[in-house]
Structure 1
Amino acid sequence: MLNTGGTVVLVGMESAGKSTVFSRLTRCRSGEESGVQGTTVTVRRETVDGEDIVLVDTPGIRFRSDSETTRLALAEAGRADRIVLVVRATHARSELKVLLEEVPLEGRPWALIFTFEDRAPAGLARWMDDCRKRFGVPVVSVDARRMEPNARKSVIRAMTEEEQGEPGGTDGEIPFVEEVNPPATGLDHSIAGRWVALGALLALFALPVYMAYLLANALEPWLDRWLLDPVRTWVTGMPSWFQAVLTGDYGLLTLGPYSFLWAFPVVLFIGSSVAVTEETGWKDRITEALDPWLRRVGLNGRDLVPVLTGFGCNVVAVFQSRTCSACTRSACVSLIAFGSACSYQIGATLSLFGSAGRPWLFLPYVVILVVVGAVHLRVWHPALAKAHALLPGRRTFLQPPTWQGFRWRLQGVIKQFLFQAMPIFLLICLVASVIDQVGWLDRLASLLGPLLSLLGLPESAAAGLLFSVLRKDGMLVFNEQGGAWIQALDVWPLFVLVYLASTLTACLVTLWTIHREMGWRTAVGLVAKQGVTSLVSAGVLAAAGWLIMTVV
């Protein structure tokens, strides 16, 4: 038996099912994490339910990769009391070969768990017996997504009991077993597959955003009628500072409910969309199909996963960039900071365009964001990813989602919004109210006025630019005076203003995360490069608008 208080570390390739095994054995959704929540980029620890075993979930090992997550997983394995190799039964021979070469198994007991039991080849049982005899370790197979009580007991027994033989031995030729690849889909076509993947990617985000806009737009009149108008009446006659904090231009109840109304539906719908695509395997298949195009701008398909995650939260996306190769991580983080419009930024831009009566501006806004983001990469980062294409032959299986897996992924996103994002935005509202009361906003406007004038923007936009640097949904301060201020802007200045506020720099929380992950030099360099790209592109947009208006 394993010693009391022992640590068992799950190690395996990407998409092998380690996190699913971890959640089924510990019966928990989060566990103790290093960094931030996320099963692919962090180490999670939790006690196995009903057992005195500390189970550790590690990031997936990437074959021929120098990623931070691979180093993290191998380092954790080196400290383990016992190692459990998690291998897909569909690719048992090739994955086990890599793990036996890379994972430090010498001097400690280990075991084998084969996942994807429901898709395994016919000879798996015989092959498992061969592995038991050759390596002298416990070997079990399981369908991790639907782990029955008996299967759970078998897995725990494999983690704690010794087999006859030499524990930790890796000598002997790996037995042959047929490997099973998932059937091809339209995404796997060498040419058409890329366009299919691009269309799927657009639908993945466009449809949830549109649904969020319809919901928020329908609920906004009710918010004004049943909450904000009664509160404004209630505070009448109270001290001016109290009115400013609650219902002033930047008040908690003036901007806070708008932030929730416009951002939360985006978080909910995009979070649901991403959770489904991750659970079904479509997310990995899309990134694989788009790999050739991404390598043209210095990234690869695997780098697209953190970029897509950035549409939920840039901070989590920066942590997920640990899966990138060392030579592409900086470029990936740069694109996240510039082009991954997080849920709060999307909600804020939808709110601003909607309040101004021009919701149709959101589509060209996203197009410009993507185009300039690609140019930004080509200008500031060399195209190094051509030598780091994704390895063929390990396509993810497509499968129906499970309610437990979907809920697990979505709950983390919602909790992050409610307990991290909203409190920070409310703090921004409070700070903005105080600064406005003491007159500092007027001084700031006078300092930034000349720059804004060059872009054809009003000096009063300075406050919104400041708070968009603190946090992207700080742009919502442009909704002051019940949206009357932003409604007074013409179409082109409105577009340039929202674009500049959302791209001038990453928010401070994201920059702090980049500093912790990659150092101050990288963070400062990113700020400088992004600021130049944002100002130059905003200037080009402003000039184009002036030219168009002049000709018309």
Structure 2
Amino acid sequence: MLNERQNQPTTPRAVVLIGLESTGKSALFRSLSGMDTGAESNFRGSTVTVRRTDMIIPTSQSSVELVDTPGIRVQDDSLTTELALNMLGQSDIVLLIVRATHAARELPLLLKMLDLIGKNIVLILTFADRASTLVEAYTTHYRQMLGISVLAVDSRQLDITTRGTLLQAINMARPMKRKPVLTEPPVEEIKEAQITWFEHTTWGRTVSVIALLLLFAVPVFLAYVLSGWLQPLADHWLLDPLRNLTLQLPDWLKTMLLGSYGVLSLGIYSFIWAFPVVLFVGLSVALTEESGLKDRITDSLDGWMRRIGLNGRDLIPVLSGFGCNVVAVFQSRTCSRCTRRACVSLIAFGSACSYQIGASLSIFSSGGRPWLFLPYLLILVLVGAAHTRLWNRQSSNLQSVVVGRTFLQWPSLRAVRWRLHAVLKQFLTQAMPIFLLICVGASLLQWSGILDRLTKGIAPLLSLFGLPHQATAGILFSILRKDGLLVLNQDGGQWLVQLSGGQLLVLVYLASTLTACLVTLWTISRELGVGFALKLAGRQLLTSLISTWLIAVIVIA
């Protein structure tokens, strides 16, 4: 009987990492566990769900469950802060994470907010590399004040010795003193992170806007150059030989594979134009986030964001939407409850996901006017801001307590690689398969004649915007997915060349804004309710139709 009890598996102790935003929790989680956490790197509000992994502490062979929680904001009512506080109640051991450079301010705030009575605690001072001369004095001071283990680490570069020491401290964790009296460390506090142009009182916001433009303009331009070089090669070495090989196939199968909407013809063409955008935009965003620049930009633009009912922190999900709207909706959990719906509204309307960017760039290029991408993106942002302000009248009055600027640092190659890997994996395993299914559906609709009947039925509506009936398929399929717009590249996009610049701009804008894609709407309904999703879709439809008509009046003679 005794042996049976000894052989029974024991429940792993829950070791919960908790701290304010941008304190290096996720980097520490990655270093301790070795888990691929590419979605968590150095940008504020990165962890929007709880990450878990089981691991063994070598010194004792005991099993623990390591849990990474979202960063806490002071005076905040977001879902992520609530989630982090809820996880605290389920913890056996708490890793309390504060920056060594800001410990005198961050630690008292955390101790005031958190109920740590009876919890086994280890205090981790991150960014030890930024406080190398004073870190020993800090660890000794807080160890004496709290009566617990205190370790200083560089969470991004955790060596084997430090990792072993930290694991041993976790295994030996104990509760802190009942009523600790915190005094400031007996040394001069370490200086704040460096001031940059982003914090300039006069030019900071302008610099931030320019930085945002470059963040997307440069990778999109590089993607355009690469795609323009690859397309003729694909025509010569892939599509032409495939057409010759399939001459004897039945008509329906040839239509399915290499017709106007063929899986191979349109699929290869779409991959060439979409994948480089996903690759270069994903790399640009990862570098910006991992370096800390994204925090500086969002802090700088806080004032302007409040004019449309949001705040600077809400800009993070909006920017995430330029990668994927679904991810951005999840990221909006970091928003205050009073601004989250407005933020989601802006994401659905104005955040052009990487698939939408690739599709739009492809259509403009096929029409011989790639330069239209810049005015298109500008109109999308401006109308999106007006749409958000119009339909969301409640202002953001929540004032957050700033505990210090984020440090600028050289991006970690490991974190950037993981983040980019996650983006590319999502594109290859989710986006492209769905688009290929769209190609199959479009081919079947064309072969059966249903697409022609739909085109004739919608043609009168499109004529109100000065658009030809051939645009029907692109608009219909863009409702399913934003890269559904790529079906307009049928026959190599030959008919797009016949459109005027104004018609091309109106077409892409209407297809982009008429509604969020169905996957995004489904996600919104699960996060905020079916009623809100339907209301959002109706408002977006109305804004899109009115603004498209106004744009058509201005740009189409």
The sequence identity of aligned pairs, in percent, is: 54
Q: CA deviation at 1:510?
A: 0.8
Which residue among 406, 413, 430 is the counterpart of 1:420?
430
Letter in 2 for 1:187: F
Q: CA deviation at 1:256?
A: 1.0
Secondary structure of the structure 2 residue equivalent to 1:251: coil
Greater shift after overlay, 191-200 or 445-454?
A: 445-454
List aligned pairs for 1:41-440, cutoff 5 A.
41-48=48-55, 52-120=63-131, 122-163=133-174, 167-177=175-185, 178-385=189-396, 387-440=397-450
TM-score, normalized by length of structure 1?
0.94
List aligned pairs for 1:29-40, cutoff 5 A.
29-30=36-37, 39-40=46-47
Which residue among 453, 457, 462 is the counterpart of 1:443?
453
Secondary structure of the structure 2 residue equivalent to 1:327: coil
Letter in 2 for 1:113: I
Assess if the C-alpha contact under 8 Å between 2:38 and 2:416 holds in 1: no
Q: Deviations over 1:188-229 (max 9, x none)?
A: 111211111111111111111111111101111111111111
Which residue among 14, 32, 35 is the counterpart of 2:21?
14
Residues 420 and 337 (structure 1), Cα distance of their counterparts in 2 relative to 1, 3 Å cut: same
Q: CA deviation at 1:439?
A: 2.0
Q: Give, in whole Å, the separation in 1 of the partners of 2:205 and 2:401.
A: 17
- 2:12 is the counterpart of 1:5: yes
Q: Give, in whole Å, the separation in 2 of the partners of 1:462 and 1:32.
A: 37
Residues 32 and 274 (structure 1), Cα distance of their counterparts in 2 relative to 1, 3 Å cut: closer
Q: Across the two proteins, how many residue pairs are aligned to each other?
A: 537
Q: Give, in whole Å, the separation in 1 of the partners of 2:111 and 2:356.
A: 45
Report the equivalent of 2:4. Answer: none
Assess if the C-alpha contact under 8 Å between 1:12 and 1:86 holds in 2: yes
Report the equivalent of 1:508. Answer: 518
Letter in 1 for 2:87: E
Secondary structure of the structure 2 residue equivalent to 1:53: strand
Assess if the C-alpha contact under 8 Å between 1:89 and 1:116 holds in 2: yes
Letter in 2 for 1:534: S
Assess if the C-alpha contact under 8 Å between 1:287 and 1:304 holds in 2: yes
Greater shift after overlay, 513-522 or 167-176?
A: 167-176
Letter in 2 for 1:531: L
Report the equivalent of 2:533. Answer: 523
**Stretches of structure 1 lacking an aligned partner (at least 5 in a row):** none
- 2:484 is the counterpart of 1:474: yes
Q: Deviations over 1:296-322 (max 9, x none)?
A: 111111111111111111111111111
Letter in 2 for 1:432: A
Letter in 1 for 2:179: D
Q: Deviations over 1:68-126 (max 9, x none)?
A: 11001111111112111111111112211122122232232121111000112754423
Q: CA deviation at 1:390?
A: 5.0
Segments ≥4 residues shifted beyond 4 Å: none
Higher relative contact order (CA 8 A, sep 6+): 2
Q: CA deviation at 1:393?
A: 4.7
Q: Give, in whole Å, the separation in 2 of the partners of 1:286 and 1:397.
A: 13
Q: Give, in whole Å, the separation in 2 of the partners of 1:54 and 1:499.
A: 48
Residues 330 and 297 (structure 1), Cα distance of their counterparts in 2 relative to 1, 3 Å cut: same
Q: Give, in whole Å, the separation in 1 of the partners of 2:16 and 2:403.
A: 27
**Stretches of structure 2 lacking an aligned partner (at least 5 in a row):** 1-9
Q: Give, in whole Å, the separation in 2 of the partners of 1:202 and 1:235.
A: 45
Greater shift after overlay, 154-163 or 535-544?
A: 154-163
Letter in 1 for 2:211: A
Secondary structure of the structure 1 residue equivalent to 2:264: helix
Q: Give, in whole Å, the separation in 2 of the partners of 1:172 and 1:103.
A: 14
Residues 41 and 427 (structure 1), Cα distance of their counterparts in 2 relative to 1, 3 Å cut: same
